[in-house]
Amino acid sequence: MIINWTGQIENDFYALGHPSVPVYLMDGENPALFDAGFTGLAELYLREIKNVLGTRTPVYLFLTHAHWDHVGSAGVFKRAWPNLKIIASQETKNLLSKPSVIHRITQLNREGLTSLREWKVNPLYEKPFLPFEIDEVLSQERPFRVGRDIVVTGISSPGHTRDFSVYVIPEKKLMIASEAVGCNEVPEFLVDYNAYLKGIKLFMAMNPKILCTGHMLVLTGEDVQPYLKEALKIARTFQHLVKKSLMEGKAEDEIVVEIKKREWDPKPFPKQPLRTYLMNTKQRVKLLKKSLRNNNKHLKKQLDRRD
């Protein structure tokens, strides 16, 4: 099944908030949240989490990475539930200790309010991003028990970002992969193209029955493997397009504009805010240009003459 709405996905597992930026909830003796979306969606997340849990409180919040649209409401969650244990990689913890990163997260979440107004989100939380600390560093050897027969484990997947973690609930064959498997037909490698492909191949071999992306989409059953195969194809097609454009003598900015016309322009709202999309696309093109330059002598000579 292809799920692009919020609500109950299966038994005690939910996608909550707004479909474009969901927070996932695995209910059990120790309820667990996964990612914290936009700051502007904090009230909506809180309301829907409480609708599921009632007077009970979540025990864990697992973060996939330190991007603004995945940590935005974490501080609000911590204020609402002081005993909530926030868990992420050491790299995520390091990033969130930097004032420059906090400034960027705050700024982008403030700008994100514009998109939420366009999407007619209600209620809208208009207070600034609330910084927070990581309570426990993720260890791949350390399982976290959510229920009697339900545990969460983490997998490092440094393709989208260096700090990225994918979470797995083996008993349910459930994977919270976020942008490690792309997003809305966009390949999401920002730091390592090969690691991104390697990660998708690993996830295919693990054969999850429920695959949760970072935005807009949950796949279940027979739709999981086709999605992962398509994610590989999209990434390779993107690389081919960038290589072809570089060989034709096109500049990075020109390539970004062309890609935007193919990837971003045709999509209906809600979709990734334009500024974030352009930042990420410029990084994807820059990363591939560097990689292709290092591994293609003919292209290297051409780029050296031009640059």
**What CATH number is given to the structural domain containing 218?**
3.60.15.10
Q: Which domain holds residue 198?
A: 2-224
In Å, how far from its chain's centre is CA 110? 19
* Residue 91 sits in the same domain as residue 195: yes
CA–CA dist 69, 52 (Å, integer): 23
Q: For residue range 141-161, list pLDDT tens digits in order.
A: 789 999 988 999 999 999 999
Count of structural domains, the chain: 2
Q: Is residue 305 part of a domain?
A: no
What does pTM read for this prediction?
Answer: 0.94
* Residue 208 sits in the same domain as residue 247: no
* Residue 190 sits in the same domain as residue 270: no
- Using only C-alpha atoms, the chain has a radius of gyration, in whole angstroms, of 19
Nearest Cα to 217, choosing from 245, 168, 175?
A: 175
Q: Is residue 28 part of a domain?
A: yes
Q: For residue range 62-92, list pLDDT tens digits in order.
A: 999 999 999 999 999 999 999 999 999 999 9
* Mean pLDDT for the stretch of residues 289-294: 85
* Residue 146 sits in the same domain as residue 22: yes
Q: Is residue 230 part of a domain?
A: no
Q: Is residue 229 part of a domain?
A: no
Count other Cβ atoms within 10 Å, centred on residue 182: 26
* Residue 187 sits in the same domain as residue 240: no
Q: Give me the percent of the chain exceeding a pLDDT of 70.
A: 96
- Cβ atoms 146, 234 nearer than 8 A: no
Q: Is residue 107 part of a domain?
A: yes
- CA distances 268 to 16, 20, 125, Å, are 21, 12, 24
- Cβ atoms 163, 92 nearer than 8 A: yes
Question: What DSSP line would sit under 227-264, residue for residue?
Answer: HHHHHHHHHHHHHHHHHHHHHTT--HHHHHHHHHHHHT
- Cβ atoms 69, 35 nearer than 8 A: no
CA–CA dist 108, 103 (Å, integer): 9
What local confidence, expressed as pLDDT, does residue 141 receive?
A: 78
* Residue 276 sits in the same domain as residue 181: no
* Residue 150 sits in the same domain as residue 277: no
Q: Is residue 307 part of a domain?
A: no
What local confidence, expressed as pLDDT, does residue 250 receive?
A: 92
Q: Is residue 306 part of a domain?
A: no
Q: For residue range 94-121, list pLDDT tens digits in order.
A: 999 999 999 999 999 999 999 999 989 9
Alpha helices in the chain, H assignment, sequence order: 42-53, 68-71, 74-80, 90-95, 99-118, 193-206, 224-247, 252-263, 274-295, 297-306
Domain boundary among 224, 250, 278: 224
* Residue 278 sits in the same domain as residue 201: no
Count other Cβ atoms within 10 Å, centred on residue 202: 13
* Mean pLDDT for the stretch of residues 133-140: 94
Q: Is residue 84 part of a domain?
A: yes
* Residue 181 sits in the same domain as residue 143: yes
Domain boundary among 194, 224, 254: 224
* Mean pLDDT for the stretch of residues 15-34: 97
* Residue 175 sits in the same domain as residue 49: yes
What local confidence, expressed as pLDDT, does residue 303 receive?
A: 59
* Residue 141 sits in the same domain as residue 104: yes
* Tokens encoding 43: 């009230």
* Residue 260 sits in the same domain as residue 145: no
Q: 216: pLDDT confidence band, cut at 50, 70 and 90?
A: confident
Domain boundary among 224, 245, 262: 224
